[in-house]
């Protein structure tokens, strides 16, 4: 049965989508695991990153199902009067199958997912329930969350065993963390039987010497300590290869001219993450 991890931070632009996609590829390549990525952000960054803009457009134009169909499968409309349940396999796209047995699949997102937020009733459990038939086909499911609290966040919590919190150590880096604490507490009170745990905070895009960075890491560590949160020993370094990889539709290790030191530092984080969640 897959271990499910949501990448979340109520602050935007901290690297949730970048780390989701790179973690998925590295876990498949380095650890030979089968990974399913779920893009739970209406901005569909992870979908475009994994599929590339052309294949993504083709998917949407062909009206193939996305994560939106998961949340709207029971909504009766003139086009779907019977509101038939979604066969989740039809929403899964294979990105890569490796010779070592590892693979990366994706359930893409689409802009219309934002509309699901307008009718949130009874949607918390839909993602978890819909994934159930395929959960044994994967070792790891990674959910890329949007930076705002909504029914989608609660659906991600409900489907997850762990949360991974990327933080960019910069001015205002702590701003999303109290919101996350509140949101986790509210969820735990509403669903006391769900075993949602925090895998930890990972510092992303670190440069090692900026004084602002040192200051901001201190603030984050303080909040982590107050809440008994693990902070990953291995940090993800700042590297232009990450945005470049997004443009090339490739993970760090397959991006043109990416540096070996950055790749090996990211690999160390991947191994620490895998160990932490028992993968
Ligand atoms: N380690 C890194 N080094 C350099 N640039 C990075 C790194 N991680 C992420 N970035 C860049 O930072 C920007 C924001 O990253 P990303 O989109 O992954 O953040 P996000 O948390 O998913 O944002 P949002 O909250 O909008 O979904 C992107 O341009 C990405 O390429
Ligand atoms: Mg994102």
Distance 42 CA to ligand 2 centre (A): 9
Distance 79 CA to ligand 2 centre (A): 31
Kindly give the number of the ligand 1 atom that is closest to the alpha carbon of 237.
1
Averaged pLDDT of the chain: 95
Report the pLDDT value the prediction gives residue 98, as an integer from 0 to 100: 98
Which residue has the CA at smallest separation from atom 14 of ligand 1? 13
Tell whether the torsion through CA atoms of 222, 228, 234 and 239 is positive or negative: negative
Res. 209 pLDDT band, cuts 50 70 90:
confident
- What pTM value is reported for the model? 0.97
Whole-angstrom CA distances from 223 to 93, 175, 218 are: 38, 11, 9
Residue 104, strand partner residues: 35, 96
The CATH number linked to 221 is: 3.40.50.300
Res. 82 pLDDT band, cuts 50 70 90:
confident
Distance 20 CA to ligand 2 centre (A): 9
Here the tokens at position 104 are 């990366």
Kindly give the number of the ligand 1 atom that is closest to the alpha carbon of 41.
27
Distance 82 CA to ligand 1 centre (A): 40
Which residue has the CA at smallest separation from atom 23 of ligand 1? 13
35-39-40-43 Cα dihedral, nearest 10 degrees: 160
Tell whether the torsion through CA atoms of 172, 177, 178 and 180 is positive or negative: positive
Whole-angstrom CA distances from 139 to 11, 31, 58, 112 are: 28, 10, 28, 29
Kindly give the number of the ligand 1 atom that is closest to the alpha carbon of 243.
31
Q: How many domains does the chain have?
A: 1
CA-based R_g, the chain, Å: 18
pLDDT at residue 80 tops 80: no
Beta pairing class for 103-107 and 93-97: antiparallel
pLDDT at residue 78 tops 90: no
Read off the pLDDT of each residue in 104-132 and give the average, rounded to a whole number.
94
pLDDT digits (tens, 9 = 90+) for 262-272: 999 999 999 99
CA–CA separation, 43 vs 71, rounded Å? 16
Report the pLDDT value the prediction gives residue 100, as an integer from 0 to 100: 98
Distance 16 CA to ligand 1 centre (A): 7
Whole-angstrom CA distances from 18 to 74, 202, 204, 221, 241 are: 32, 13, 10, 22, 11
First-residue to last-residue Cα distance in the chain:
11
Read off the pLDDT of each residue in 74-93 and give the average, rounded to a whole number.
88
Kindly give the number of the ligand 1 atom that is closest to the alpha carbon of 238.
3
Read off the pLDDT of each residue in 169-180 and give the average, rounded to a whole number.
90
Report the pLDDT value the prediction gives residue 79, as an integer from 0 to 100: 75
Report the pLDDT value the prediction gives residue 252, as an integer from 0 to 100: 96
Res. 165 pLDDT band, cuts 50 70 90:
very high
User: Environment class of residue 267 by beta-carbon count within 10 Å: exposed (0-12), middle (13-18) or buried (19+)?
Assistant: middle
Read off the pLDDT of each residue in 6-33 and give the average, rounded to a whole number.
97
pLDDT digits (tens, 9 = 90+) for 27-56: 999 999 999 999 999 999 999 999 999 999
Which residue has the CA at smallest separation from atom 1 of ligand 1? 205
Read off the pLDDT of each residue in 259-264 and give the average, rounded to a whole number.
96
Report the pLDDT value the prediction gives residue 127, as an integer from 0 to 100: 97
Cβ pair 258, 239 in contact under 8 A: yes
Read off the pLDDT of each residue in 230-244 and give the average, rounded to a whole number.
97
pLDDT digits (tens, 9 = 90+) for 175-187: 899 999 999 999 9
Read off the pLDDT of each residue in 60-66 and give the average, rounded to a whole number.
95
Pocket test for ligand 1, best of 243, 249, 258, 262 (most atoms within 8 A of CB): 243
Report the pLDDT value the prediction gives residue 210, as an integer from 0 to 100: 84
Read off the pLDDT of each residue in 11-40 and give the average, rounded to a whole number.
98
Using CB distances shorter than 6 Å, the residues near ligand 1 are 12-18, 41, 45, 147, 204-205, 236, 238-239, 242-243, 246
Report the pLDDT value the prediction gives residue 211, as an integer from 0 to 100: 87
Point out the ligand nearest to the CA of residue 9: 1
Here the tokens at position 130 are 């819909």
* Domain extent for 97: 3-277
Report the pLDDT value the prediction gives residue 119, as an integer from 0 to 100: 87
């Amino acid at each position: 049965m897959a271990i499910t991890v949501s990448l979340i931070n109520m602050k935007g632009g901290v690297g949730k989508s970048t780390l989701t996609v790179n973690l998925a590829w590295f876990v498949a390549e380095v650890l030979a695991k089968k990974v399913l990525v779920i893009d739970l952000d209406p901005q569909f960054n992870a979908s475009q990153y994994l599929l590339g803009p052309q294949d993504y457009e083709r998917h949407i134009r062909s009206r193939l199902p996305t994560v939106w169909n998961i949340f709207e499968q029971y909504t009766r409309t003139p086009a779907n009067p019977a509101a038939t349940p979604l066969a989740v396999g039809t929403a899964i796209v294979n990105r890569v199958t490796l010779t070592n047995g590892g693979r990366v699949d994706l359930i893409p997102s689409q802009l219309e997912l934002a509309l699901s937020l307008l009718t949130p009733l009874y949607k918390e459990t839909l993602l978890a329930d819909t994934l159930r038939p395929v959960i044994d086909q994967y070792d790891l499911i990674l959910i890329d969350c949007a930076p705002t609290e909504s029914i989608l966040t609660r659906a991600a919590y409900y489907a997850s065993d762990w949360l991974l919190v990327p933080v960019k150590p910069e001015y205002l880096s702590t701003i999303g963390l109290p919101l996350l604490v509140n949101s986790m507490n509210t969820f735990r009170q509403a669903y006391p039987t769900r075993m949602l745990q925090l895998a930890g905070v990972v510092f992303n895009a670190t440069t090692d010497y900026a004084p602002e960075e040192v200051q901001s890491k201190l603030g984050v560590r303080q909040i982590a300590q107050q809440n008994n949160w693990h902070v990953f020993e291995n940090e993800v370094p700042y590297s232009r290869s990450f945005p470049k990889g997004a443009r090339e539709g490739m993970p760090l290790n397959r991006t043109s001219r990416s540096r070996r030191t950055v790749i090996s530092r990211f690999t160390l984080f991947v191994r620490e993450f895998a160990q932490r969640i028992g993968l």
